[in-house]
Chain A
Amino acid sequence: MKSAVIVFPGSNCDRDAAVALETMTGQAPAMIWHKDASLPDGLDLVVVPGGFSYGDYLRCGAMAGNSPIIEPLKAHATRGGYVLGICNGFQILCETGLLPGALMRNASLHFVCKPQALRPDSANSAFTSAYAGTSEVSIPIAHHDGNYFADKATLDALEGGGRVAFRYVDNPNGSARNIAGILSENGRVLGMMPHPERAIGGHEGGADGRGVFESLLGAD
């Protein structure tokens, strides 16, 4: 699988994403600096990693959402390429409009980092098929702004379209309908607050995040 990781100033899970991709796909991703105005040809997957792009001094992801690399990212998504946005990456995807809704400050107002129980809500996507038959997984979260919000019609559409990829078992941040991750309409863009790249085994995060990458490897 040919993949790339976008690096914004302030991204800090770019290396984690690269390690996870290399471990799981056997192929190191291309690391793309945000000022580059193009992506390599023939990519299967682009990961928008976690971190604090531009310090998140403005609304989370707002600055990165207007970066030069966003146009090529949108083109990649438009032609059906896979996009995985994790944590700050999810926030950025919402800012670009590739995914609906927004991530607000956690209801507790505190940053929260902990192992998080999730329910894979749809095993029908290219990102979640490996979770078929799994009722609960534990994937770590670490965020200050993970409180997913969208209007009722959007939430209904997400649920109706099988586009809720993961839900929190014990909602840590106030997200609407316990949503932890959502898919685009064509199912080829996933944004999620939990960090699957921090749960590939051999560390405190556990190994339950491997399923996201295993699913992608098995996808068309």
Chain B
Amino acid sequence: MTDTSAILAHLHAEQTEEDAAGHGINAEEWERLTSRLGRQPNLVELGIYSVMWSEHCSYKSSRRHLSKFPTKNEYVIQGPGENAGVIDIGDGQAAIFKMESHNHPSYIEPYQGAATGVGGILRDVFTMGARPIALVNALRFGDPSHPKTRSLVAGVVAGIGGYGNCVGVPTVAGETQFDAGYNGNILVNAMAVGLADQDKIFYARGATPGNPIFYVGSKTGRDGIHGATMASAEFSEGDEEKRPTVQVGDPFTEKLLIEACLELMATDAIQAIQDMGAAGLTSSSVEMADKGGIGVEMDLDKVPQREEGMTAYEIMLSESQERMLMVLKPGKEDLAKAIFEKYDLDAEVIGMTTDTGHMVLTQFGETVCDIPVAPLADDAPNYDRPWVEPKPRAPLDLSKYPEPEDYGEVLLKLMSSPDMASKRWVWEQYDRHVMGDTVDSSQSMGDAAIVRIHGTNKALAICSDCNPHYVAADPYEGGKAVVAEAYRNLSAVGATPIAITDNLNFGNPEKPDIMGQFVKAVEGMAEACRALDFPVVSGNVSLYNETDGKGIPPTPVVGGVGLIGDVSKVATLKGAQPGDVLILIGETKGHLGASLYVREWLGLKGAEAGPPPPVDLAAEKRNADFVRSLIEQGLVNAVHDVSEGGIACAAAEMALASNTSFFIDSGTDVATVCDLFSEDSGRFLLAVPSKLSSDDIQDWIDAFDTSVKWSLIGGFGDHSPGMYEEPYLAISGASAQAGIYNLVELPLSRLREAHEGWLPAYMAGVE
């Protein structure tokens, strides 16, 4: 039997400043808390304050800087502040999307950490009434030689697949990178995109007093209650209190929850809804109360519980997965219960909304919490953390390093480097085709995935991007580059870029240099968002990503969404035909700082790798808009943006994807390391049917904008017919001494082997 009086005494105990410190509440915050409350809190109240005022829930270090992001354009229906961002995609429909991190849990328990990351982001999207239609993930692991990396890759990939595959939402795109900076702190960022009718979008706001609070989904257990330090101060005795703080995912229940919620949402029963994510029942109830300007009263004895003897503290702080909280319209309880019963899900009315502005909780018939709601949310701390301007890096002096003797070796090395190598081993473990609307996924190595809007001939393009090496080298320019790459990637498939979600992963914000990275990266991203009319509509901040006191490389990941009006008019990088000419759009200036070439071939690290390529946002927009117009007119066979590894790697990827020979010709601008491997921004490669002449191309440009720069740099198909028996690539150079000579001459099969071979061999433990 549960000893209720002992539990109640434990919960009622008046807490001190020292107890608060144990909950991560500092002296200043304690002062704020007790002055707002007019007394000292009890244990339940302190627990609630501590999670609501945590960095994760309150954004207390980042809030003032996030306000620099533009959040509106003509498409935005809902910007940051709700569960996810909402954009207008025409015909009365909306796309709803967000990205969120699950970094720390995934390092501790990779399978469940990653799986619950997927589950959480799906809930953010279907909470708003959207059927999830696509998942994306952005993963960063430590150095491949680090002893934990291989098992973390295996666990995270299995976890993402295990959850997404079961729940039946295709995982269509993603990125996987490796760097020693993530050795002790991997990044697992998951993005979900959903589809809803604009007149059936649900918000956390809108609840009015006097309505039932309805709990649905899984039962509440002790999993996910924060931190080991907390558990040691807990009431319960025995091992159960030492349960890991990582939650356990149940994708089957999530699938049922999606179907049941969407079924209920099709009726007119819900006033407000919020999923139980971080800080579980606490944050979901506070959010709805705060946004509705009301109070809540909940009887915790009515909360479905997985085990006996749970305290109010544990119930309020549990992060058990697959749970939702909603405020129903009056008289809709039976309708709602019947739907959840069909799916064998728990569903209980656990309280009522009130007009008191207070959160009142009872357990075993006694009040265990009575605090005003407003200070929990609106009045949370909002810090202006000290920061220092990042130190600019000296330009890279390439003359210090020898020119490579064999350019073929360089290309093979870059194409098989951990960041560039094929991630087939990863994405073949994800169901990319369920729901039947995947037009293009990771499978084609494309710049962005293309997912048809069900039942229409329109589509969404979806991508995720971040080059942390650029951001580390120059947070401001690197921040611009992150947003610009997303704009470029969406344009490269023919989509109009609409908006982004962001996932800002940084180290400890209490360190001025880390805070400086954060501030400048946000400012750079914001500038790019403004220049490209590409606002931020949702996002997540993950701070305190540190290893042995050293922050991770600053990693502000962007998830981009674009709209395709006619899915028959798209381009991918795989359509190049023999005979096509290879056209470069944009200007090659030869910037190699912070590039894949200097990192992987020259082996330069940190400051010696130099600054990243500057981003000319006007040129980015002009070039991307031009390329999109060509795709819309059906003038190109294949398109690829030029990013890591420069023109050589981009062209190689196009050749591999279409299994077609290609050549980059002498007598063009392209003949040196800088020309082949530089990472100047704003560039695209196009495969254009050869029947079109240079005059045609110049005509297109003249009709669009004469400032678009372009050059003919090579072609697809046999350059020297009969010379090779299989598809091959040739890059020729020219010099005064040697005349024309082949810099690179490789069978495509060898390039493919290098590109495809690295990850499977690594995962199999082959040295």
A binding-site residues for B, Cβ under 8 Å: 9-10, 12-13, 15-16, 19-20, 33, 35, 50-52, 54-57, 110-115, 140, 142, 144, 195, 197-198, 202-205
Q: Could you jot down 26 A-B contacts, CB within 8 Å?
A: A9-B255, A9-B343, A10-B166, A10-B252, A12-B166, A13-B434, A15-B435, A54-B252, A55-B166, A55-B253, A56-B166, A110-B428, A111-B158, A111-B429, A111-B430, A112-B428, A113-B428, A113-B429, A113-B432, A113-B433, A114-B443, A142-B165, A142-B434, A198-B434, A204-B444, A205-B438
Cα distance, A112 to B430, chains bound together (Å)? 7
Docked-complex contact B428 and A195, CB < 8 angstroms: no
Nearest residue, chain A, Cβ from B161:
A111
Closest to A14 in B: B168
Question: What residue of chain B has the Cβ atom nearest to residue A142's Cβ?
Answer: B431
List of A residues within 8 angstroms of B452 by Cβ: 202-203
- A50 and B166 CA atoms in complex are apart in Å by 10
Decide: A12 and B255 in contact? CB cutoff 8 A.
yes
Decide: A113 and B436 in contact? CB cutoff 8 A.
Answer: no
B251, B429, B439: the one contacting A203 at CB < 8 Å is B439
B167 interfacial by beta-carbon distance below 8 Å:
yes
The one of A9, A20, A56, A205 that contacts B433, using a Cβ cutoff of 8 Å: A205
Q: Pick the most buried of A15, A112, A115: most chain B CB atoms within 10 A of its CB.
A: A15
> Would you give the shortest CB distance from A220 to chain B, in whole angstroms?
29
Contact B438 A204 (CB under 8 A): yes
A9 and B431 contact, Cβ closer than 8 Å, known pairs A51-B168, A204-B443: no
> In the bound complex, how far is the Cα of B436 from the Cα of A19, in angstroms?
8
Q: What residues on B are CB-neighbors of A52 within 8 Å?
A: 165-166, 168, 251-252, 255
Is B441 part of the contact surface with A, judged by Cβ < 8 Å?
yes
* B429 and A110 contact, CB distance less than 8 A: yes
A116 to chain B, nearest CB (A): 11
B437 engages A114 (CB within 8 Å): no
Q: A57-B252, A203-B437 in contact; A13/B168 too (CB < 8 A)?
A: yes
Interface hits, B686-712 → A, CB 8 Å? none
Contact A111 B252 (CB under 8 A): no
On chain B, the number of residues with a Cβ less than 8 Å from chain A's Cβ atoms is 35
Given contacts A55-B252, A111-B165, A204-B441, could you give 14 more A-B pairs where the C-beta distance is less than 8 Å?
A9-B255, A12-B168, A13-B168, A52-B166, A52-B252, A110-B428, A110-B429, A111-B430, A112-B428, A113-B432, A198-B434, A202-B452, A204-B432, A204-B433
- Name the residue on A nearest B432 (C-beta): A113
The CA-CA distance from A35 to B431 in the complex, in Å, is 27
Majority secondary structure, B binding face: mixed
Q: Who on chain A is nearest to B251 by CB? A: A55
Residues of A within 8 Å of B615, CB to CB, are: none
**B171's closest neighbor in chain A, by CB?**
A113
Which residues 238-267 of B have a CB within 8 angstroms of A? 250-253, 255-256
- B124: which A residues are within 8 A, CB to CB? none
Given contacts A57-B252, A111-B429, contact A16 B435 (CB under 8 A): yes
In angstroms, Cα B161 to Cα A15, docked, is 20
Q: Decide if A12 touches B437 in the complex (CB within 8 Å).
A: no
Find chain B residues with CB under 8 A from A19 CB. Answer: 436
- Is A204 within 8 A of B165, CB to CB? no
Contacts of A15 in B (CB 8 A): 435-436
If the complex has contacts A111-B165, A113-B428, are A198 and B252 also in contact, measured as CB distance less than 8 A? Answer: no
A24–chain B nearest beta-carbon distance, Å: 13
Q: Which residues from B are CB-within-8-Å of A16?
A: 434-436
Bound Cα distance A30, B578 (Å)? 48
Contact A12 B434 (CB under 8 A): yes
Highest count of chain A CB atoms <10 Å: which of B253, B432, B434: B434
Contact A204 B431 (CB under 8 A): no
Distance (whole angstroms) from the CB of B110 to the closest CB of chain A = 15
- Residues of chain A within 8 A (CB-CB) of B158 are 110-111
Min CB–CB distance B421 → chain A (angstroms):
18
Query: Are A203 and B438 touching (Cβ within 8 A)?
Result: yes
In the bound assembly, the distance between CA atoms of A93 and B161 in angstroms comes to 25
Closest A residue by C-beta to B345: A9
CB pair B252 A204 closer than 8 Å: no
* Chain A residues, CB < 8 A from B168: 12-13, 51-52
Known contacts A55-B250, A204-B439, A198 near B433 by CB under 8 Å: yes
